[in-house]
Chain A
């Protein structure tokens, strides 16, 4: 479970034009459920996701992660809790790698290299043996129906294929939490439905899901356990 308490993110704090994108958000995100963040453009959804996903630090407030996997770097025991906002970068990165799989709005694939290499990329700094990683990556890609494109360059993929590569990459480290930012923005309705089916499978496998979207296919889906609505950085309607 992820617990947010009075989380504030102010961009350009201390400069002439500070901008508070997330303004005092308190929220519980239950484990094993699908939570949807919705709200108009600029309401702070992406910002909140980056804070939860350990990609940026909040200006104030606390974020607690419960039920973390055991890890040597932080000397955690299975199921430990951790307050992440004050951790140094190395630890944040370590947690992000083991706990979160992030699916970006723009997919963020590295151009010019193959589908397979893109999926393996997150594991390079962990020093894991390439052969195991490769086997796992192929398995993930095959599961997403991409076995024909393993060695294709990502530049030539269609939008739906590129997104599935991004999903495979998010899953390579077997994360407990999958975070997706506007995952259906580039998909037609059939592909969007397919995406939600996939999310249903992840949920059934016990993963925690957090999706930011203003697409009714997502927040109107029967799979969504909770819909949190944001506006101007605040929660206006919650679970």
Chain B
């Protein structure tokens, strides 16, 4: 048989020179194509990254939180109730937690204030999240002033800025000693915001939750798995909204590709006829067009994915911010942790390259399989 490698190379070379010959048209095509891939890839990367952030954040959250409800609203609960809950079978540990929201009038944002039992945190000191450090423009060693329940400012030393590992939700966090939280919020000793419950066997959690409600009808247990589900639903819903917008982008792209393909220019059709008449087989012509299509699709795919990666992970998805986030003033300055996964890339590839290839293949096939004598009549 013929030496195949050289045949592929010759035809690939000619495909490249053909693409260059129709520079203007192919550049326009690649630009539109890249844009579609970019938008889709940004969306996929963004939603995936948000979900991952939420999941990672909750890794350290307690399996179950028990709150007290008064008149349908969350209210501080007696810390002594922890003992009673600990007595329920299957419960391993019950930890009273102290936390609250703090509205910062200067920056117009809500912060989460939380007590930590970590003894490394000194009294009158705080550990703060990246977002807090940024909006307040403070760093380690600076002082911040928080307004107490009576309206009087209290000064705290920033002892540590928490690392960026998972920023999306913890960036608005301020950690302080339990004593400081109580005095700032005027929470009497013996009351906790809620209780964190750990079970020996996580599968028993729903049963334990049922028992808690039964024994203390004024409480509401919240399972981590439920929170996770809520997060996913929120991100999916927000992502879904964008999908609707971008589905139309993809659709118009497919129409564009279809148009480009079915309208194989008279020039191109003639060229295929010439090639056939000078001794190219249908398979050779298809290979040529396949190379051309592959170069266009792969350039656009790689370009689009790289741009999307930069957009989402280096420029914090600037274009989507308003549609996808914005429930806290602190969020706009977050930074997602870069991550790529093969599954997403494969899905993207099939969403973009496949429709294009399918749309272009049929008319090329039709043009490539005509008798070469057709080339002589034009």
Residues of A that sit less than 8 Å from B by CB: 46-47, 50, 55-57, 72-73, 89-90, 93, 96-97, 102, 104-106, 108-113, 117, 121-130, 169, 173, 181
**Bound: A47/B371 CA distance, A:** 12
Say how far A154's CB is from chain B's closest CB, in angstroms: 11
Apart from A108-B277, A127-B5, A181-B376: 5 A-B pairs, beta carbons within 8 A: A56-B371, A108-B273, A108-B375, A124-B14, A125-B280
Q: Which of B154-186 contact A (CB under 8 A)?
A: none
Question: Quick check: B376 and A104 within 8 Å, CB to CB?
Answer: yes
Say how far B5's CB is from chain A's closest CB, in angstroms: 8
Say how far A15's CB is from chain B's closest CB, in angstroms: 16
Chain B residues closer than 8 Å to A57, beta-carbon distance: 371
Chain B residues closer than 8 Å to A47, beta-carbon distance: 373
A-B contact pairs, 23 of them (CB 8 A): A50-B371, A50-B373, A55-B277, A55-B371, A56-B372, A90-B283, A93-B279, A108-B274, A108-B375, A110-B271, A111-B271, A117-B17, A123-B10, A124-B10, A124-B11, A124-B280, A125-B281, A127-B5, A127-B6, A127-B7, A127-B10, A130-B6, A130-B10
Question: Quick check: A121 and B275 within 8 Å, CB to CB?
Answer: yes
**Bound: A46/B372 CA distance, A:** 13
Chain B residues closer than 8 Å to A90, beta-carbon distance: 281, 283
Question: Quick check: B6 and A97 within 8 Å, CB to CB?
Answer: no
Say how far B251's CB is from chain A's closest CB, in angstroms: 33
Question: Quick check: B282 and A105 within 8 Å, CB to CB?
Answer: no
Chain A residues closer than 8 Å to B273, beta-carbon distance: 108
Chain A residues closer than 8 Å to B341, beta-carbon distance: none
Residue of B nearest to A98 (CB): B279
**Bound: A108/B14 CA distance, A:** 17
Chain B residues closer than 8 Å to A106, beta-carbon distance: 376, 378
Question: Quick check: B375 and A128 within 8 Å, CB to CB?
Answer: no
User: Within 8 Å of chain A (Cβ to Cβ): is B342?
Assistant: no
**Bound: A39/B278 CA distance, A:** 25
Q: Which of A50, A111, A117, A128 contacts B376 (CB 8 A)?
A: A50
Say how far A87's CB is from chain B's closest CB, in angstroms: 13
**Bound: A125/B288 CA distance, A:** 10
**Bound: A56/B375 CA distance, A:** 11
**Bound: A70/B283 CA distance, A:** 23
- Could you say which of B3, B5, B7, B376 has the most chain A C-beta atoms within 10 Å of its C-beta? B376
**Bound: A38/B2 CA distance, A:** 39
Question: Quick check: B281 and A108 within 8 Å, CB to CB?
Answer: no
Say how far B220's CB is from chain A's closest CB, in angstroms: 74
Total count of chain B residues near the partner, CB < 8 A: 32
User: Within 8 Å of chain A (Cβ to Cβ): is B214?
Assistant: no
Question: Quick check: A102 and B21 within 8 Å, CB to CB?
Answer: no
Say how far A134's CB is from chain B's closest CB, in angstroms: 12
Q: What are the 4 closest A-B residue pairs judged by CB atoms, nearest first?
A: A127-B7, A50-B373, A97-B279, A124-B10
Question: Quick check: A126 and B2 within 8 Å, CB to CB?
Answer: yes
**Bound: A58/B5 CA distance, A:** 35
Say how far B87's CB is from chain A's closest CB, in angstroms: 83
Question: Quick check: B21 and A89 within 8 Å, CB to CB?
Answer: no
Q: Which of B7, B275, B277 contacts A104 (CB 8 A)?
A: B277
Contact with A along B353-378 (1 / 0, CB 8 A): 00000000000000000011101111
**Bound: A112/B2 CA distance, A:** 29
User: Within 8 Å of chain A (Cβ to Cβ): is B326?
Assistant: no
**Bound: A18/B3 CA distance, A:** 43
Question: Quick check: A125 and B10 within 8 Å, CB to CB?
Answer: yes
Chain A residues closer than 8 Å to B275, beta-carbon distance: 110, 121
User: Within 8 Å of chain A (Cβ to Cβ): is B4?
Assistant: yes
**Bound: A109/B10 CA distance, A:** 18
**Bound: A47/B374 CA distance, A:** 10
Chain A residues closer than 8 Å to B378, beta-carbon distance: 106
**Bound: A36/B13 CA distance, A:** 39
Question: Quick check: B376 and A46 within 8 Å, CB to CB?
Answer: yes
Question: Quick check: B4 and A125 within 8 Å, CB to CB?
Answer: no
Residue of A nearest to B274 (CB): A108
User: Within 8 Å of chain A (Cβ to Cβ): is B267?
Assistant: yes
Question: Quick check: B267 and A93 within 8 Å, CB to CB?
Answer: no
User: Within 8 Å of chain A (Cβ to Cβ): is B63?
Assistant: no
User: Within 8 Å of chain A (Cβ to Cβ): is B284?
Assistant: yes
- Could you say which of A46, A108, A109, A128 has the most chain B C-beta atoms within 10 Å of its C-beta? A108
Chain A residues closer than 8 Å to B2, beta-carbon distance: 126-127
Q: Which of B4, B7, B282 contacts A124 (CB 8 A)?
A: B7
Question: Quick check: A89 and B281 within 8 Å, CB to CB?
Answer: yes
Chain B residues closer than 8 Å to A109, beta-carbon distance: 274
**Bound: A106/B277 CA distance, A:** 12
Residue of A nearest to B10 (CB): A124
Q: Which of B231-278 contact A (CB under 8 A)?
A: 267, 271, 273-275, 277-278
**Bound: A125/B376 CA distance, A:** 21
**Bound: A127/B9 CA distance, A:** 8
